[in-house]
Structure 1
Amino acid sequence: MGDYSKALEFYEKAHKILEKALPSNHPNLAIFYNNIGGVYNKMGDYSKALEFYEKSHKILEKALPPNHPNLATSYNNIGFVYENMGDYSKALEFYEKAHQIFEKALPPNHPSLATSYNNIGFVYENMGDYSKALEFYEKSLKIREKALPPNHPELATSYNNIGGVYNNMGDYSKALEFYEKSHKILEKALPPNHPNLASSYNNIGMAYSGKGDYSKALSFLEKALSIRQKSLPSTHPLIKVTKDNIDHVKKKM
């Protein structure tokens, strides 16, 4: 629901009980470290996220065989934090470790393999290698279109990411086409003040800005800001990003 402080409160209550009840290397503890790491990651506290993801990973390395999918998921999560921190070479290193496991452990159309292609594509996008990014995003989308129902949020992620590459390449009409496909799914799947919906409004707004349609851009960016101010801590970097985007569009106007 996007209420991260509440999520954290309940995970930590559960965690206190489990730490007393279970041995320090129990896999269930790894699950909780992972969950807490995930919340910190969404709150933008990346050093805390990394700390908990690494605690989880240490337990899993001891408890699981080296090609277990849960170990790949753990590599993915660590990669995701490095990506958010802007350390793309580290992110790629962990995503590729995850991908090698998924390729061996999973059937070729498994959704987790799609997520893995998607993650690698995202790093290439951030590194400015748009053709590589598109290649991996499209591999991900093909699997998701086969494996998932048509209104699944992960399909929305794929459409959104492909839209992002086209946006970065300056093809704003193509970007809008994919952003809008993504947005239709998210509107049905998420509560109206969910942070992911804010990201979607922001992306559509920036594509309109790229096209020079500044009044449309402003309308979508203001929707994004309104949701982010309600759902995120006031210090979250995305709030500043959205305000900067709005200022940029107003100057253009």
Structure 2
Amino acid sequence: MANFAHLDADITSRSRSITKPGSYIILTQADRVNSTLPNWRDTKAKIMTTPALGAKFVEYEMVIQSGGGTKQPVNDGFQHFLFVLEGEATFELAGETHELIQGGTIWLPPDHPFTLVNNSDAVTRMLWLRRRYIELEGVAIPDPIITNEKDVEAVPEDTYVEKHLIPYDNELGYDMAFNLLIFEPGTHFGFVESHIMEHGLYMLDGRGFYYLNGDLIEVKKDDYIYMAPFCPQYFAATGWETGRYILYKDVNRDYIDEL
């Protein structure tokens, strides 16, 4: 008979992850499981959202060791968003090389093959989201975006400020948004939001309380939240540190197409 006396009997009580299908999930860093993706070497993918949840996108935390990266160009017919959480990476697109650092931001429309390699001596962590692009008749597909969040202007929004890393407000060609929201301690939403978009949210800094479909839950740096469409949501920043999170949502399309 197995002897489990050496194991920590309190480990389950310390888990903060929650899964409520059709509503939301909270996936903490401690509870994420490493996966291996076929086209990546020396890289672990912590898969945070998939269609198994009912989502229309897949989002990963990619942990890339020194020398790791893509084995061959990524060319899968999807649009891509990448964001450097920490470390460095060399990104190549259409024969041009770009050196990415923390805060590096990339959006790619479909059919733009790319490679990415960690040429540094330290581990690099990145967010990576893939989703099918929805074309609009008569609207051009935008060109790729390669920038850094530090170069994107922060603008007031409700009770906080935010950076629109994809300029979807004035360009219908974009069907996704990635916004970086910034909350000083004590700042909170002005109301409880409940709308059609689904969300993928990654806490970059700080901590606070998230209200999700009737549940009030404390969240902190490196927590991940998936919110299904119409999930009531509200955030209040706590602690002493400025809170920041990066938020995905689908935009600029008519949901009648889902009928």
TM-score, normalised to structure 2's length? 0.30
Q: Which has the higher contact order (CA 8 A, sep 6+)?
A: 2
Kindly indicate which of the two structures has a greater share of residues assigned to helix.
1
TM-score, normalised to structure 1's length? 0.30
